[in-house]
Amino acid sequence: MTAVRIDGVATAATVRGELVDRIAALKARGIHPGLGTLLVGADPGSLSYVAGKHRDSLELGIESVRVDLPETATADEVRAAIIGLNENPAVTGYIIQLPLPAGLDENAMLELMDPAKDADGLHPMNLGRLVLGVAGELHSPLPCTPAGIVEMLRRYGVEIAGKRVVVVGRGLTVGRPLGLLMTRKGIDATVVLAHSRTVDLADEVRRADIVIAAVGVPGLIKADWVKPGAAVLDVGITRVLNAETGKAKLIGDVDPGVAEVAGFLSPVPGGVGPMTRAMLMSNVVEAAERL
Ligand code: NAP
């Protein structure tokens, strides 16, 4: 492998370590940061992500409140759980674990959240602030995965300003907000947001200095699509169950051969996933600091 490995596990541990003193300072002021999660259904990926978020909270001394509803929960039951989290004083920030089961309107549910407690930065008020805030400081939470991606690039010294970034995938949690974040003044990337209707994706990727793959198609990004020396961050996750061991293996969107061409590579697993969780902890602490 020739690419420098962008290690999300180590970077996430550093980010969490930087929160320790801030959490202690909050507690000294009598403010106890608390993370809430709302999970509907039993998707194996979602169950594992929610468990990880509570493990991180516990490690940092952040209170955590977990609300789990069955796959069959009605829209009224989900709405009631959201109102409950809005009103729970022990919860200073919370997330609705996405995706919600089919039949539940995700955007309508996100809109019901108290924007001040939106730890994922996905409430329309906070996304709107990201759209409006082309320059200057933002005093609202940023979506965790895009924020984690920018943080990883910065910490590994990958230049972003003026560079051509191709983001593959226009989903709510990664692609769409990432384009907004990376084109803010001070970050200054030129972003191409590609998707399933993009004509000649390989050609778009070949012209990129930085490639972010957030699709969910294993091995989509091939080695001969990547400009030598480019930074490639794999975000896509496909869970493949091993019938013998019963354990799930995570496969990313980036073909393993890309490691021989790219200058930097953030792998799956061990890359953007752990950083997403660390940025969630950071958002919970920041929300408590705003109280
Ligand atoms: P999503 O909403 O389903 O979006 C997937 C995107 O990929 C869509 O924009 C789709 O295009 C595009 N796409 C599908 N097939 C394509 C192809 N062959 N070529 C180009 N684009 C294609 O998913 P998401 O929520 O954004 O998540 C994307 C992936 O990232 C998933 O695998 C998810 O598990 C992973 N993820 C990881 C983290 C993390 O922390 N590591 C966080 C969030 C998500 P259309 O819009 O045209 O359909």
**Ligand 1 within 6 A of CB of 168:** yes
Domain spans, the chain: 21-117, 143-275
Residue 185 tokens read as 């003044």
For residue 253, indicate whether it is catalytic. Answer: no
The catalytic position among 43, 118, 120, 255 is: 120
Which residue is listed with tokens 């940025």?
279
CATH class of 21-117: alpha beta
Q: Quote the ligand 1 centre to 30 CA distance (angstroms).
A: 41
**Ligand 1 within 6 A of CB of 169:** yes
pLDDT of residue 37: 98
143-275 has the same fold as 21-117: yes
Asked whether the beta carbons of 118 and 93 are under 8 A apart, the reply is yes
Strand partners, 40: 69
pLDDT of residue 1: 65
For residue 247, indicate whether it is catalytic. Answer: no
Rounded to an integer, what distance in angstroms lies between the CA atom of residue 122 and that of residue 253?
24
Asked whether the beta carbons of 140 and 114 are under 8 A apart, the reply is no
Start-to-end CA distance of the chain, whole Å, equals 47
| Ranges of the chain whose pLDDT falls below 50 | none
**Ligand 1 within 6 A of CB of 175:** yes
Rounded to an integer, what distance in angstroms lies between the CA atom of residue 132 and that of residue 58?
35
CATH architecture of structural domain 143-275 = 3-Layer(aba) Sandwich (3.40)
pLDDT of residue 249: 94
